[in-house]
Amino acid sequence: MNINLTIFGQIIAFAFFVVFCMKYIWPPITGALVERKKKIAEGLDAADRAQRDLELAQEKAIADMHKGKEEAAAIIEQANKRANQIVDEAKEKAREEAARLVTAAQAEIDQEANRAKEVLRAEVAALVVAGAEKILEASVDANAHAQLVEKLAAEL
Amino acid sequence: MASEMTSSAYISHHLTNWTFGVHPEGGLGFAHTAQEAAEMGFWAIHVDTMLWSVGLGLFFIWMFRKVAKKVTSGVPGSTQNFVEVIIEFVEDNVSSIFHYKNALIAPLALTIFVWVFLMNTMDLIPVDWIPFLAQKIGEAFGADPHHVYMKVVPTTDINATLGMAIAVFGLILYYSIKMKGLGGFLGELAFQPLGKWMLPFNLFLEIVGLLAKPVSLALRLFGNMYAGEMIFILIALLPFWAQWLLSVPWAIFHILVITLQAFIFMVLTIVYLAMAHEDH
């Protein structure tokens, strides 16, 4: 157990290592550790916030979906109503048109019948006159009897 | 190796440091025998202790500096992870014991822990390997192999442990005087624990207590490592086929001892310096 200069050698070496450690090793590494702790805390915070945001977004999505469904239902109902209305209107229009067509046809038919009657009446008058001429074998003054003939024709 | 010499010569060879100093007859040089080394007295230096302790200390700062240079707060690599575990362990210990603001304490504790641990770990290298290698190298350089000494565990040299303990003691004195003032420090020595009427008794008690700190630090580490080394040397005297029966369990147990001793040295240093900062 010789105690000698080695003690001082050790003290010098020890001092050198401690100072080196204090200046060049400890600060950067503990700095990185502190920074990582901060990063992790921030990361956890962000995750919490994201979780909350997600919950809010889900709630909002569900609410939006409900609202959308209600709106869609309202739109469909409205559309149905409108469709019924359109159909009713069309029916009404068609009925009116039909009535109008029927009336017009009727009027035309009446007109046509009247015209036929006129033609027929004129022909009958002529025939009657001719017949009477034959019977009387004399000419009948058409002008003189025109009144009579017309009266006759009107009775047909 | 044991077969070449007697058991006591083998043991004494293993327990002698490679010493460089002034020969008693005059002239600088390496000691050739244990007796010569002892006769060199104070003005000699243990080359092996210095070599291994400085080498291991350089290994420590090289490894940690390498990590510190490219340290990242992102995902750490495996070396950084390992270094961070050690640093966080030391930091936890320091912050739980030492409650003052001092940038020196934590790096000091880290240096002590890792350096002492590395020096102690040399104990796990089989006792004959490196001395045998040193003898062969010494022989190649023309030295008598019986006069080549190589103690690879610096903490089995009282100088190494005492050197560290004295450095710590210096810090204890420095911070005691810095924090309490010279008067406060002397007052603490003189008036505690029994008040001013028992001043000589107080002084005696406190000075013994103060001096016991570095001495116990140095002797605890030295004693544990020296005893452990001694057991390994004794085991190495057994026939080679029987050695593992004892050396393996002892080495496994020693893993605990070397870690524990490094840890104790660190914790006691922190405790002593915390006491130095404490103002009564």
Extents of the domains making up chain A = 8-38
Calpha distance B29→B31 (Å, rounded)? 7
Residue A54 predicted with pLDDT over 60: yes
pLDDT tens across B154-195, in order?
Answer: 999 999 999 999 999 999 999 999 998 898 888 888 887 787
- ipTM greater than cut 0.95: no
Calpha distance B152→B51 (Å, rounded)? 9
Calpha distance B277→B275 (Å, rounded)? 5
Q: Find all residues with CB under 8 Å of B1, minimum gap 6, and list them.
A: B10, B128, B132, B236
Q: Find all residues with CB under 8 Å of A103, minimum gap 6, and list them.
A: none
Q: Can you list the alpha helix ranges (DSSP code H) found in B141-198?
A: 158-191
Taking contacts as CB-CB distances below 8 angstroms, the residues of chain A near B111 are: 14, 17-18, 21
C-beta atoms of B43 and A4 within 8 A:
yes
Residue of A nearest to B64 (CA): A25
Residue B1 predicted with pLDDT over 70: no
**In the structure encoding, which two tokens stand for residue A104, read together?**
């017009």
pLDDT tens across B38-95, in order?
Answer: 888 888 899 999 999 999 999 999 999 999 998 888 888 899 999 999 999 999 999 9
Calpha distance B253→B111 (Å, rounded)? 24
Percent of chain B with pLDDT over 70: 98
Q: Are B111 and B131 in contact (CB under 8 A)?
A: no
Instruction: Categorize the per-residue pLDDT at B2 as very low, low, confident or very high, splitting at 50, 70 and 90.
Output: very low
Interface test with B, best of A1, A21, A38 (most B CBs within 10 A): A21
Quote the pLDDT of residue B36.
82
Instruction: Categorize the per-residue pLDDT at A141 as very low, low, confident or very high, splitting at 50, 70 and 90.
Output: low
Q: Are B163 and A8 in contact (CB under 8 A)?
A: yes
Residue A111 or A141, more confident: A111
Calpha distance A111→A92 (Å, rounded)? 28
Distance from CA of A41 to the nearest CA of B (A): 13
Quote the pLDDT of residue A107.
94
C-beta atoms of B111 and A15 within 8 A:
no
Quote the pLDDT of residue A32.
92
Taking contacts as CB-CB distances below 8 angstroms, the residues of chain B near A42 are: none
DSSP H/E element including A30: helix A26-136
Distance from CA of A43 to the nearest CA of B (A): 12
Identify which of B54, B72, B74 has the shortest CB distance to residue A13. B54
Taking contacts as CB-CB distances below 8 angstroms, the residues of chain A near B57 are: 13-14, 16-17
Taking contacts as CB-CB distances below 8 angstroms, the residues of chain B near A14 are: 57, 111, 115, 163-164, 167
